[in-house]
Chains A and B, each alone.
Chain A
Amino acid sequence: MTDLIQISPLSAKAVPGLTGRYRTERNFQRLGRLAIAMSLGFLMFLIVSISYQGVGAFFKTEIRFDVEPAWHDEAAGDSYALLRHIVREAEPEISGRKARRDFFRLIGADAEDVLRATIPDKKFIWLPASDDMDMAVKADFEEGASRLTEQQLDWVRMLAEEDRTRTRFNMGFLTNGDSRDAERAGVGGALIGSLLTLVICFLLSFFVGVMTAVYLEEFAAKNNWTAFLEVNINNLASVPSIIFGLLGLALFLNIFGLPRSSSLVGGMVLALMTLPTIIIASRVSLQAIPPSIREAALALGATQIQMVFHHVVPLALPGMLTGAILGMARALGETAPLMMIGMVAFIADPPGSFTDPATAMPVQIFLWSDSPERAFAEKTAGAIIVLILFLILMNLGAVLLRRKFEKKW
């Protein structure tokens, strides 16, 4: 039995210090896992809390009312009169100007829009509830969760018991522009604004950035002047974005006289900001192309231009695109420079062209986070969810593009 207790000469214990080395290695791996767990934890906290607060923005409460075709003719196109008629008929027991007015506050500001769009042969109609009632329903009629009075809360409970309320997907949140009424407010305008801004930003910064990188990396002589340029490009990449906003204000708006608040100017400012990022990413991916490929092309009698555009640039393209999309993702989240050029204004209509006044997603979030109404807090979180989904889509696009263009050798 003694030979079982003996340490085998092939075990780790037989070598002095080896068990200690293994312990260090295990501890290092544990630290790494801990770091990953922490970062994932923070990320989960952000996503869970934002989702919890914002998911309500994608749903809205509706109330059912009976309606007769004849009422439409009576109202003669006046949807406000029709709405009052419907409500008066539905709740005859509510009497008195004040009580009626209080009940009327349960109906959303966009109910008229719905009435205007309905065909007059329906027996009943679902009208959107006001933001206050919507909040009360979503909070399960909890006291103090909304601005409703005791009386109004009773009515809402009654409507719910009669099965006259329902929750529907709030399409308007994705398609509407901004509004003072929380029921009407949506991120549609800001989404289109962000999209137009990014299109301008990409068109300006990608091609200029890639050409700059290609020239500096492949054609320019390596001397003090190009070293100076390189230092300055790196400096530009770390300039705070608000400085670019001020530059845009001074240059594009005041000197060139381009339209204020437009996605054109927004895109131009963001392009200035994204350019250094794209130049640096493109240069890095050009540097990563092995010299053997360049030599192969040159030895066949290809000119410098042919070598660069037939071989080097196609191989560096995935890296360039990834850099560009990461730059775009950063631009999508920028608020400060856009505020400088007036994209922070209240804009109700989604922009129809590059020169129309527009706002962008992060600016919309900033604007709503400032609104006192409780419903806007929900909208803010909802808009953050939309922005994050937008970012995820862009990054996914970057991965897919990379896969598509990447070549193995």
Chain B
Amino acid sequence: MVEIMDTYIEIKSVNVMATTDNPTPPKMTTKNVSVSYDNNRALKNVHLNIAENRVTALIGPSGCGKTTYLRCLNRMNDLIATCKVEGEIKLGGHDIYARDVDVEVLRRRIGMVFQKANPFPKSIFDNVAYGPRIHGLANSKEELDAIVQKSLRRAGLLDEVENRLNASGTSLSGGQQQRLCIARAIAIEPEVILMDEPCSALDPIATAKIEELINELKERYTIVIVTHSMQQAARVSDYTAYFHLGELVEQGETNRIFTAPKNSKTEAYITGRIG
């Protein structure tokens, strides 16, 4: 507990100032969201706002519904036939579950990075270029090259792969693969990036690189990250939401959640007594 707090205070002090001085407008709002699989409630009446250009961390023990919540935000739950989503989720004021919403348009604006790095078994270039290609973002080979270079640079991968863009994406190391997936996600310039435990399969050095990257990315993108590591939540996020058994127990500025949790369950979790 003491260790966690030490790490947290060192890194967070700057962010705390920023968030308290300028309350940022919500990029996404969720009201009364409930999700059920085959009549099993996975998520109950969640109210949560996602602040623009901030990192929101979703924490909680396994099976608490944080990944389910994340996958509601870009409608990846649509793929599961038995999954039923109720409530209201808005992106920039528009209901994303409205009848005339096209999921492809939605996912173009809300990118996602998965728990396990999943590059396509194609070249590094093609991995990053795939999104811009299908959305017609580049009119020429030069433009496409520029997008790929820019995305790889923003993902902090360019220096490592610059001379082997034609090598297979799957030939990279685990951490590089995950950064490639981030480059692929930001190549189509989404507004929000959802990250589902992006570091769970990585070693501490690769994790540190990704966390550094998240800090840089939040200048341009709104980030929602699911994590099992409370140190990670403390290090990278501005806001934290604690889920427990399908309910949103507590939310607030990361600083406040970790130093003065209001709910006893939150306190028990962050101090390591449950989880």
Contact = CB atoms under 8 A, between A and B. Distances in A.
Given A299-B74, A300-B185, A408-B168, A311 B120 contact: yes
Contacts of B106: 301
A296 interface: yes
B121 A301 contact: no
A301 B116 CA distance: 19
Interface stretch (A38-46, A130-138, A302-310, A322-330): A302-310
A91 interface: no
A292 interface: yes
A301 B120 contact: no
Contacts of A303: 104
A293 B107 contact: no
A327 B81 CA distance: 34
Contacts of A310: 130, 134
A302 B111 contact: no
A297 B126 CA distance: 12
Interface residues of B, number: 27
Given A292-B114, A292-B118, A295-B114, A301 B170 contact: no
B148 to A, nearest CB: 14
Contacts of A98: none
Given A296-B114, A300-B131, A301-B108, A222 B121 contact: no
A222 B82 CA distance: 11
A306 B103 CA distance: 14
A312 to B, nearest CB: 11
Contacts of A227: none
B245 to A, nearest CB: 26
Contacts of A306: 134
Given A292-B114, A298-B107, A222 B81 contact: yes
A97 interface: no
B89 to A, nearest CB: 16
A298 to B, nearest CB: 7
B134 A300 contact: yes
A27 to B, nearest CB: 41
A407 interface: yes
B130 A300 contact: yes
Q: Is the interface of A mostly helix, strand, loop or mixed?
A: helix
B181 interface: yes
Nearest to B169: A409
Max count, chain A CB within 10 A of own CB: residue among B81, B106, B130: B130
A358 B114 CA distance: 57
A299 B120 contact: no
B58 interface: no
Contacts of B111: 299-300
B174 to A, nearest CB: 13
Contacts of A302: 104, 130, 134
B170 A409 contact: yes
B135 to A, nearest CB: 6
Contacts of B121: 293, 315, 407-409
Contacts of B14: none
Given A222-B81, A295-B76, A301 B107 contact: yes
For the complex of A and B, the 10 pairs showing the least CB-CB separation, nearest first, are A301-B108, A292-B118, A299-B112, A409-B170, A301-B107, A407-B121, A409-B121, A300-B131, A296-B118, A301-B104
Interface of B: 74, 76, 79, 81, 104-108, 111-112, 114, 116, 118-121, 130-131, 134-135, 168, 170, 181, 184-185, 188
19 contacts: A222-B81, A290-B118, A292-B116, A293-B121, A295-B114, A295-B118, A296-B119, A297-B130, A298-B79, A298-B107, A299-B185, A300-B185, A301-B107, A301-B108, A301-B188, A311-B120, A408-B170, A409-B121, A409-B168
Interface of A: 221-222, 290, 292-303, 306, 310-311, 315, 407-409
Given A301-B107, A407-B121, A407-B168, 5 more contacts: A222-B81, A293-B121, A295-B118, A300-B111, A409-B119
